[in-house]
Amino acid sequence: MVVARIEFHAVARRFPLPGGGASAALDDASFQIESGAWVTLAGPSGCGKTTVLRLIAGLEEPDAGEIRINGRSMRGTPPHERGVAMMFQEAALHPHMSIRDNLAFGLQARKIPHGEIERRIASMTARLELGPWLNRFPEELSGGQKQRVALARALLRQPSILLLDEPLSNLDAPSRLTLRRELQRLHAGSGTTLVYVTHDQTEAMSLGEQIILMEIGKVRQNAKPLELYNHPADLFVARFFGTPPMNILTGELRGQGEGLSFHPDTIENPDEGTATLSSPPAVESPLFLHGLKSGGLKLPMQVSCGFRPEDAAVESTTEATTPSNHWRLPCRTSAIENLGREIWVHAQHKGQPIVVPASNTPLPEPGQTFQLLIPPAKTHWFQKGSVLTIDSYCQ
C-alpha cells in the first residue's frame, strides 16, 4: 500500500453569496499531515472541516493556495487518481443490492479481477465480522451495522488516504464506542493516512495523534491532543476542549511593586468580596519585566485568566491550613450538579461564572459563599483572545 503525505499551503475556498460577494469556507489554511498518521479535524459546524475533506478528495478545487499529496500538486488531478476513499455521515448503501453486492460494486467498477474481489471481501468480512449480513439488504441492518458496511466498502479499495466525515454522529453511544475501537484497530499498522472529521471534542481528544482545530474557515491550532488541552493558543481553543470547559475570568493586569497582579472585573454582585491574584507566573519573567521598565508594555492591561475546573478546589472547612502558594478567590454558589461519579459546583465571582469539582468538604449551598483555591502555575493568560506573549513588548 502506498502511503500519503498531505500538505495544505495557504489554501482558500470561497462560495458565492446570493446577494453578491463570497463566503470563505476556508481561509489561508496551512498544515501538513504525515504519511500513515491519524489526524482529526475538529471544530463547530460550519467551520470548514468537510470542505477540507472535499478538497483532499478532489471533489472541489481551491480558489487560492496549493494542495500536495506526496509532494505532488493536486491542481487538476481528478479524484480517481488520488488514492482516496471517503466515508460520509450517512452510510449511503445501494438499497436494491445485497451487502455482498454493495461491497463488490466499487471494485467491479475499477475492473478488479473477480478472484481478487472475492479474496478482499472474505478478508474484510472476517476482520469486521460481516459474515451474517452478506446476503441481507441495507434496510435489514441497524445504523451501526450499515456504518460498519460503509467502512468495509471504503477499506476494500485499499486507499492510501481514508477520509471520514463524522461517520459516527448518527449512532447511539454503544455503537459509537464499538466502531471507534474498530477504527483504531484497523488503522494500527495499516499505513493508511486517515483524516477524521468530528465536532465532538471528546471524540477528537480520544482519537488520533494530531488535532487540527478550526473555526470559521481558519485553523486555530494544530497540535497533539494534550498540547491543545494544556497549552491552548487562544481563547477559542481553551474553551473548546474540556468538560466542563475552562473557566475564564476577565480583568486587569496591573503593576504591583516589582511584580504584577490580576484584578477580576466586577459584572454584578460587588458585595461578594474582593480578590487580588498576585504575580501571575505565565507573565512573570525577566523579559516581561524588562518590557515594563523600558516602557514597551503599558499597564493596566485588559486580559483574560483561564484555569481548568479540575485544577481548582473548594477550600476545605476542616483543613487547618491552606496551601500558601494558592490564590484564594471568593465565590458565591449558583447551583450543584450531581452526576453520580462526580459533583460540580457552579458559582460566580462578581457575576463571572465558574465551575469547579466538589471536594470532600460539606458542599456549599446555593447562595452560600466560599473560597476557591487556584494554583497559579495552572493558569492560562490571554490578551485580545490570543495567548499573552512577551516578545512583542520587548523589541
Same domain, 81 and 104: yes
Question: Can you give the pTM of this predicted structure?
Answer: 0.86
Please tell me whether residues 63 and 178 are part of one structural domain: yes
The domain that holds 369 is classified in CATH as: 2.40.50.140
Residues 117 and 192: their CA atoms lie apart, in Å, by 20
Cell of 333: 454558589
Separation CA 347–CA 158 (nearest Å) = 53
pLDDT of residue 169: 78
Of 168, 200, 233, the one marking the end of a domain is: 233
Task: Give the domain range for residue 365.
Answer: 247-393
Query: Is 239 among the domain residues?
Result: no
**325 and 184 in a common domain:** no
Residues 81 and 222 grouped into a single domain: yes
Instruction: Verify that 166 and 300 share a domain, yes or no.
Output: no
Output the pLDDT for position 300: 84
Q: Can you give the pLDDT at residue 340?
A: 78
CA angle 78/84/85 to nearest 5° reads 120
Q: How far is CA 144 from the centre of its chain?
A: 24
Q: Which backbone phi and psi does 306 adopt, to 5 degrees?
A: -115, 150
Pair 284, 328: CB distance under 8 Å: no
Task: State whether 222 and 81 are in the same domain.
Answer: yes
Kindly state the helix (H) or strand (E) to which residue 201 belongs, with its residue range. Answer: helix 201-206
Grid coordinates representing 203 are 471524540
Query: How many domains are there within the chain?
Result: 2
Q: Are 38 and 2 in contact (CB under 8 A)?
A: no
Query: What CATH number did the domain enclosing 90 receive?
Result: 3.40.50.300
Q: Tell me, what's the pLDDT at 271?
A: 58
What integer pLDDT is reported at residue 360 of this predicted model? 65
Q: Which of 178, 200, 233 is the endpoint of a domain?
A: 233
Kindly state whether residues 210 and 339 are assigned to the same domain.
no
What is the grid cell recorded at 33?
Answer: 499531515
CA distances from 165 to 26, 42, 57, 282, 297 (A): 16, 11, 12, 38, 45
Residues 175 and 113 both lie in one domain: yes
Q: How large is the angle between the packed helices 99-109 and 114-128, nearest 10 degrees? A: 140
Is 11 inside a domain boundary? yes
Domain end (from 233, 264, 288): 233
Per-residue pLDDT of the chain (395 residues; tens, 9 = 90+): 566 899 999 999 999 888 877 888 999 999 999 999 999 999 998 899 999 999 999 999 999 999 999 999 999 999 988 989 988 877 788 999 999 999 999 888 888 899 999 999 998 888 888 888 899 999 998 888 888 888 888 888 888 999 999 888 777 787 788 878 888 888 887 789 999 999 888 889 988 889 999 999 999 999 999 999 999 999 999 999 988 999 999 998 887 766 678 888 888 766 566 666 775 655 555 555 565 666 666 778 888 999 999 999 888 765 655 666 788 889 999 999 988 788 899 999 989 999 999 876 677 888 888 889 998 888 888 888 888 765 444 43
Examine the domain organization and report whether 200 and 255 are in the same domain. no
